[in-house]
Amino acid sequence: MEQRNSNYGLGMGVFGAVFFIFGFATTFIVTMTAPVKAIFGLPEWGAQLLSSAFFITYPILSIPSGKLVAKIGYKWTVILGLLLMGIGSLIFWPAAKVPSFPMFLVATFILAAGVVFLQVAANPYVTALGPESSASSRLNLTQALNSIATMIAPWIISVAIFRGLSESLMTAKEYGFAAAERVPLPFIIMAVVVIAVAVILFTIKLPVLVTEKKEGVKKSVWSYPHVILGALAIFTYVGAEVGNAGLIVNYLKNSGGIDPEVASTYAAIYWGGAMIGRFFGAIMFSDMKSKSKKYGMVGLVLVLALISGAFVTAKGYTIDTWNFNAGVTFMVIALVNFIIMQIGSGKAARTLGVFAIVAASLALITTFTTGQVALWTIISIGLFNSIMFPNIFSLAVRDLDGEEMASASGIINSLVVGGAVIPPLMGGIADTAGYTWAFLVPAACYLYIFFYAVKGSQIR
């Protein structure tokens, strides 16, 4: 693909905002499993059905969404997705007022349908908006913006839903109803924002991408092993990422005795790790030649890690309440993440393989340790999740023309259903064998991603 006009910055800016929006919505729903468990008195596997209702939309709608993009274009697909998100968000208001778990699931499904439309349109658009050599860098940059939102969402849940509630001072029923009363406001704000963005997007003109078709006999994307194996890698990656995130709050509460409000802030650091790692990835996979400029930007990202880690775990709203111990720890782990990234030498497959092995190791350490070690190993996985989606996606669509890329994007995004399958599996293990044993599942997922990086992503 190539641009029909030179307004590259506008295209990246608009789709950067789109990545931010669907990142916030996704993480907000995943982290909502903890309040939903409290509101309805559900077992862990039952609470994780909220994630299932969200991610089940991907196999149902991703391939039709890819065809919709081909028919009406990227811009109108995104507008439709934003409007669906707005409708789904508003349904959470009556769902929380009743309260009704089935209505929660319906609202989640509709909101997620909008997210699917956004994601199926956004990933190939950003990939094709510039040179193929820097596609991974562009995806890492937009995913970093996505991750800013994913870090904010758990913090908002901590402040808007859990702050000031104490299970020790209330009955379980009182605690559940108090949490339910606080649910609607964040979703109403989300609805207003996404509908406003849809209206703004309607009024502007985006760069149009022209498909350059390959010569010769057209092959089905199903005949490309690197596409199909890449879709399976997305299944395991999303399942592991969402499964970890969905269990963090209740894992820290039950295994570490940490209050849900505080545990939600550590969930924010988990997602913040993805943000920091993706900024690193955007820098390292870019075409930037100046090493001094690269390392200067890396320094700024490390400062961001310090500030964000200290802020989201703060006990109040003023700087004297910031948790700088957590901020410094997060910054040091981020530095280790950057050093390990150098092993990849800026190559997408090699970096993916290294990160997958480290993430699998961290999941295993979480399984067999407790206390502060387990707390920081599970949170650190977020940093090594960071470049997985953009790198898997860019490897899976290599050497495809525009028409093939739209089809491949639909297939790949349909396998995001891993987020519907793996979290309830982990929740079932947590209910029966204990929370720590549940992290054996993501360890196995990361080992498959390692296989894809070293073997499955080869074009043949």
DSSP code per residue over 16-27: HHHHHHHHHHHH
18: domain CATH number? 1.20.1250.20
| pTM for the model | 0.75
Q: Does residue 378 fall inside a structural domain?
A: yes
Q: Does residue 355 fall inside a structural domain?
A: yes
Least Cα distance to 409 among 2, 1, 24, 137 occurs for 1
- What is the rounded average pLDDT of the residues 53-75? 84
Q: Does residue 28 fall inside a structural domain?
A: yes
**pLDDT given at position 207:** 65
pLDDT band for 218, please (50, 70, 90 cuts): low
Other CB atoms within 10 A of residue 14 CB: 20
Alpha helices by DSSP H, listed for 257-401, are: 260-284, 291-312, 324-341, 348-368, 371-385, 388-396
Domain span holding position 113: 2-209+219-456
Q: Does residue 364 fall inside a structural domain?
A: yes
- Tell me how many domains the chain contains: 1
Q: Does residue 258 fall inside a structural domain?
A: yes
**pLDDT given at position 389:** 87
Q: What is the pLDDT of residues 242-275, one digit of tens each?
A: 899 888 888 888 877 788 778 878 888 888 888 8
**pLDDT given at position 6:** 47
Q: Does residue 214 fall inside a structural domain?
A: no
Are 80 and 116 in contact, with CB atoms under 8 Å apart?
Answer: no
- In order, the DSSP letters of 127-144 are HHSS-GGGHHHHHHHHHH
Q: Does residue 115 fall inside a structural domain?
A: yes
- What is the rounded average pLDDT of the residues 336-340? 93
Q: Does residue 181 fall inside a structural domain?
A: yes
Can you say whether the dihedral through the CA atoms of 152, 155, 161, 163 is positive or negative? negative
Distance set, CA 173 to CA 160, 185, 264 (Å): 19, 21, 21
Two tokens, residue 188: 């109403």
Q: What is the pLDDT of residues 124-177, one digit of tens each?
A: 777 666 666 666 667 667 766 777 777 777 777 777 776 766 655 556 667 667
**pLDDT given at position 33:** 79
| 178 vs 20: CA distance, rounded Å | 29
